[in-house]
Amino acid sequence: MNTQQQLARWQHGVRAISLALGLLLGLAACAPAEESAAANTAGAADTQVYEWKMITTWPKNLPGLGAAPERLAERLRIMSNGRLDIKVYGAGELVGALEVFDAVSQGTAQMGHGAAYYWRGKNPAAAMFATVPFGMNAQEMNGWLRYGGGLELWQELYGKFNLVPFAAGNSGVQMAGWFNKEINSIDDLQGLKMRIPGIGGEVLSRAGGVPVVLPGGEIFTALQTGVIDATEWVGPYNDLAFSLHTAAKYYYYPGWHEPGPTLEAFVNKDAWEALPPDLQAMIEVATQAINEDMLSEFTARNNAALDTLINEHGVQLRRLPDDVIAALRASSKEVVAEIAEADPLAKRIYESYMAYLEDVRRYHSISEQAYMNLRESAD
């Protein structure tokens, strides 16, 4: 290669290096601007505040049930760094306790907290997402909803009403309730006016009782004044807070009507779809946390509350007679089976619930139940 060729190659290399440097410098100059624009866009999304209303079926600040929506709102406020700001309204503050479903469906509020058996009039199968007499307990309900296909069916049903549902609390097995007279046989249920919602109310009716649906805030007065003869509510922790022991002295168990009642949070579908994915994920996680938290709190506090009711207030704890339980069980089978006749979706919900119940009962007979029996026999 001669000198002239070497010079030409050298000049060509210089031009190539200069071009590459220019390109790199140009990219470097563009990058901060593009990153800044992306950051600004992300920042705008991150700082948008969604101000929501959550309406509930519970009296404001009621321990347990009423505390759950307050805790849910607070956790979401912290998790979102204030981007999801939810104000909680107790029953009657914005709408009546039994109007919550419709109000959220119509967009009066973005979110609600309650129990699905209050909306049985929308579809008989709705109550199955709360509880079924003689059905699944809290642990089993959680399994069905999260891993047994229950949640998908729940979403399908509530989607018809422009709602997105979430499990958001569980009290565990409840008490059978407060009675102003002793229940010694099935005859004592005849004509008995009892506050009891959902499927349990229909079962009581078939057994000769008279079910009455009342929101929580009206129960004490109705029982005290004789409008009703008996009431179920939750269990010792919440019942003590309601002072139900001052209106009736007979406290019966077991809670045949609500063995594992799932409480719910539901979101207006339009409001849900307007949220960014990260806030949607926060709601999903926070409701799961509240679902577990409520069950843990009732498990921890019920025993002490029951001791207070018995030892300090003279409450008489009684077990429902066997013939009463047998009659209620027989009526329950009829009522629950009739749910499947409502419509095709109700039939699918019924079949899914019952199939899962049968499977989990078979396994729990050699696991959870077998252990409980073993533990009791050691005493």
| pLDDT score for 172 | 97
Distance CA 35, CA 32 (A): 5
Sheet holding 111-115, edge to edge: 84-89, 50-56, 111-115, 262-268, 163-170
| pLDDT score for 379 | 65
**Mean per-residue pLDDT, 307-332:** 98
Distance CA 202, CA 88 (A): 32
Distance CA 103, CA 107 (A): 6
Q: Which of 55, 58, 87, 93 is nearest to 73 (CA)?
A: 87
Q: Which two tokens stand for residue 284?
A: 């999903």
User: What is the SS3 assignment for 52?
Assistant: strand
The ranges assigned to domains in the chain are 48-170+261-297
Q: What is the DSSP string of 92-156?
A: TTSS-GGGHHHHHHHTSSSEEEEEGGGGTTT-GGGGGGT--TT---HHHHHHHHHHSSHHHHHHH
Q: Which of 228, 191, 195 is nearest to 212 (CA)?
A: 195
Q: Are 194 and 211 in contact (CB under 8 A)?
A: yes
Q: Confidence class of residue 45 from pLDDT cuts 50, 70 and 90?
A: low
Tell me the pLDDT tens digit for each residue of 60-92: 989 999 999 999 999 999 999 999 999 999 999
Distance CA 329, CA 113 (A): 29
Peptide bond just before 254 cis, omega within 30 deg: yes
The b/e string for 257-286 (b: 16+ C-beta within 10 A; e otherwise) is bbbbbbbbbbbbbebbeebeeebeebbeeb
**Mean per-residue pLDDT, 97-112:** 98
| pLDDT score for 178 | 98
Q: Are 212 and 93 in contact (CB under 8 A)?
A: no
Question: Whose structure tokens read 């204030």?
Answer: 82
Question: Whose structure tokens read 């929506």?
Answer: 69
| pLDDT score for 9 | 46
Give, in order, the Cα–Cα distances in Å from 263 to each of 4, 114, 197, 209, 234: 88, 6, 14, 26, 12
Residue 33 has pLDDT above 90, yes or no: no
Tell me the pLDDT tens digit for each residue of 167-206: 999 999 999 999 999 999 999 999 999 999 999 999 999 9
Q: Confidence class of residue 24 from pLDDT cuts 50, 70 and 90?
A: very low
48-170+261-297 to CATH, choices 3.40.190.170, 1.20.1090.10, 1.10.3720.10, 3.30.70.600: 3.40.190.170
Distance CA 311, CA 319 (A): 18
| pLDDT score for 378 | 72
Q: Are 86 and 77 in contact (CB under 8 A)?
A: yes
Helix (H) or strand (E) holding 250: strand 250-253
Distance CA 299, CA 168 (A): 16
**Mean per-residue pLDDT, 40-47:** 53
Q: Are 126 and 159 in contact (CB under 8 A)?
A: no
| pLDDT score for 42 | 43
